[in-house]
Structure 1
Amino acid sequence: MLPYFLGCPSWSEPAWRGDVYPDSARSNDFLALYTQVFNAVEGNTTFYAQPSPATVARWAEQMPAHFRFCAKLPRDISHSDNLLAQLGAAETFVELLKPLGERVAPFWLQVPASFGPQRLPELAAFIAELQIPLAVEVRHPAFFAKGEEERALNRLLQGDEIERICLDSRALFSCISSDPAVLHAQSKKPRLPTRPAAFSQFPQLRFIGHPELPANDAYMQPWLEKVAAWIEEGRTPYVFLHTPDNILAAQLARRFHQQLTVLLPGLPALPERVEPAAEQLGLL
């Protein structure tokens, strides 16, 4: 058991066959195999489409009790003109994921860059009405200007022990490349200052990496020190590693953990690779 949560944007990556997953793994095996290596995952899939009840039931069967699924509130909610008008939809979404129990903790609210300081009262009311474990990612420049608007946001979140998600895309934007995956990622990801916030027991970090793994080390080092300090304070951080097309996301997550063991030598190693249960049973 790790003293922090570590994972990737998703588990559904066919390119991980031969690395995280065995060559013979079927797509239906991926989640169960993923949970044997990592103990958390970003819920990007729920941002774009809500799962069916049958899918949620299948996830509940495959996710161990200690696993964490940071389900993003659907973009129809987070990117609407009025969060309060979406309270009913948010409550329905929370109800849909109830079979996962405490494994959905926290939910993530990722608001767009157009969501500015004038909407903070709306955000406060939404948080008060919804009453769920929540972490919030903001992208409006005013929330990174170290002025009163940013302080107001931080007071609001910290007062309710709502995490402000730490997003670091510096490694991604340090890459000069004509690779379509890199260009696509750079066009989609925000380029904003880092904010190493810890407003609760569970700080949240999203690290958007360079496609060449060693190039991430200098950008990861301050976060490794921060995560180690949080753990030593008794907090339980969440850390998610991305690469432009996420083909190397699992390798970057392993790299982060390996370097964290230098600062915290008692950490257990991650499994290198696991086998589908059916194949293991067949060897007995």
Structure 2
Amino acid sequence: MKKIYVGCQGWNYKDWISPSESEVRFYPPGVKTAQMLEFYAKVFECVEVDSTFYAIPSQKVVEGWKAKTPPEFKFTLKMPRDITHEKMLDKSALPVLKEFCDIASILGEKLFAVLIQLPPQFEANKQNALNLRYFLNHLPRPMRFAVEFRNQKWLIDWTFEELRRHNVAFCLVEGSWIPHQVMFQVAEKTQADFAYLRFMGKRDLVHFDKVVRPQDANLVVWKDKIEKLKAKEIFITFSNFYEGFAPESANKMRHLLGQEPVEIAFDQRTLFE
């Protein structure tokens, strides 16, 4: 039986704080930043951490994430941009890779996977292909990894075979870089025993307190694709930019997949007393 985790891309958003007890959003009124993860983890069972893209967190910070979440909670961490965007996976990135993975391993079983997000300028050429192969060969095990390509020219059989050999997932993304019809085709070629899906959106929103561009029809289409995935475990995260309010987007997907939706608009006060 498949295990499907559904959550958000991050938890630290001021717009998620309820202005008052009568106008409930996600967090209760007056919540402190240091309390947000603990509250979030009482509602959702997974989260994607974006801050690791900008800097490797300290041991103390990661231990704090682990301590504030229940035993079954899962994290995914973005690999630092120093590796993916600056060093472009070349050999000079290996020391940083080791440092990052040593820190990530503190999460233990709470670490679902690490996301290797490659930029559009990571072109599909011979040198980058050699770098990718070398990098995949040096990923520490049994830690799991998923690769997000933002250049459509990487969507070739060679790439899928390289990922398959290492049980690395091809990250499926609803976003502006690769058309979702192409992503649907890619979904049928994924070979890892787990899957990673990210729902993005146009980065033109400045407030994240409510859904402003509903994507219900698109979610239904994706739901059918998700159910056909052969992966044993599936990790799904939503950006605030997808619809305007990631908790509600995640809740919609939970409902579509037959999971019990959380009553975000009504239960938060009692959840956190």
Same fold (TM over 0.5): yes
If each structure's helix is expressed as a fraction of its own residues, which one has the higher value? 1
- Structure 1 equivalent of residue 22 of structure 2: none
In 2, Cα distance between equivalents of 1:38 and 1:191: 28
- Structure 1 equivalent of residue 131 of structure 2: 122
In 2, Cα distance between equivalents of 1:44 and 1:276: 29
TM-score, normalisation: structure 2: 0.81
- Structure 1 equivalent of residue 236 of structure 2: 239
In 2, Cα distance between equivalents of 1:246 and 1:214: 5
In 1, Cα distance between equivalents of 2:239 and 2:195: 17
Q: Structure 1 276/199 Cα, relative in aligned 2: closer, same or farther at 3 Å?
A: farther
Secondary structure of residue in 2 paired with 1:244: helix
Partners of 1:6 and 1:240 within 8 A in 2: yes
Partners of 2:160 and 2:190 within 8 A in 1: no
Partners of 2:151 and 2:178 within 8 A in 1: no
Partners of 1:7 and 1:250 within 8 A in 2: yes
Per-residue CA deviation, residues 161-187 of structure 1 (Å, 9 max, x unaligned), is 110000112xxxxxxxxxxxxxxxxxx
- Structure 2 equivalent of residue 67 of structure 1: 73
Query: Structure 2: 5+ residue runs without aligned partners?
Result: 19-24, 206-210
- Structure 1 equivalent of residue 249 of structure 2: 252
In 2, Cα distance between equivalents of 1:128 and 1:105: 20
Query: Structure 1: 5+ residue runs without aligned partners?
Result: 145-149, 170-188, 262-266
In 1, Cα distance between equivalents of 2:48 and 2:69: 13
Q: Structure 1 113/234 Cα, relative in aligned 2: closer, same or farther at 3 Å?
A: closer
Q: How many residues align?
A: 247
- Structure 2 equivalent of residue 15 of structure 1: 15
What is the identity percentage for the equivalent residue pairs of Structure 1 and Structure 2?
A: 23
How far apart are 1:242 and its partner, in Å? 1.7
In 2, Cα distance between equivalents of 1:70 and 1:239: 10
Per-residue CA deviation, residues 1-33 of structure 1 (Å, 9 max, x unaligned), is x93111111010111112221113111110011
- Structure 1 equivalent of residue 177 of structure 2: 190
| Correspondence list, 1:93-112, <5 A | 93-112=100-119
- Structure 2 equivalent of residue 173 of structure 1: none
Partners of 2:212 and 2:243 within 8 A in 1: no
Q: 1:58 aligns with which of 55, 60, 64?
A: 64
Per-residue CA deviation, residues 75-108 of structure 1 (Å, 9 max, x unaligned), is 0011114432111111011112222112222111
1:256 partner letter: M
1:248 partner letter: F
| Correspondence list, 1:69-84, <5 A | 69-79=75-85, 80-84=87-91
How far apart are 1:65 and its partner, in Å? 2.3
RMSD: 2.4
In 2, Cα distance between equivalents of 1:234 and 1:124: 23
- Structure 1 equivalent of residue 21 of structure 2: none
Moved more, 66-75 or 95-104: 95-104
2:192 partner letter: S
Secondary structure of residue in 1 paired with 2:241: coil
Secondary structure of residue in 1 paired with 2:173: strand
TM-score, normalisation: structure 1: 0.78
In 1, Cα distance between equivalents of 2:5 and 2:148: 18
Is 1:270 aligned to 2:257, yes or no? no
Structure 1 ranges of 4+ moved more than 4 A: 209-214
How far apart are 1:55 and its partner, in Å? 1.1
- Structure 2 equivalent of residue 184 of structure 1: none
Q: Structure 1 239/81 Cα, relative in aligned 2: closer, same or farther at 3 Å?
A: closer
Secondary structure of residue in 2 paired with 1:206: strand
Partners of 1:33 and 1:275 within 8 A in 2: no
Secondary structure of residue in 2 paired with 1:51: coil
In 2, Cα distance between equivalents of 1:220 and 1:246: 11
- Structure 2 equivalent of residue 264 of structure 1: none
In 1, Cα distance between equivalents of 2:133 and 2:231: 28
Per-residue CA deviation, residues 110-129 of structure 1 (Å, 9 max, x unaligned), is 11112233212221211111
- Structure 1 equivalent of residue 97 of structure 2: 90
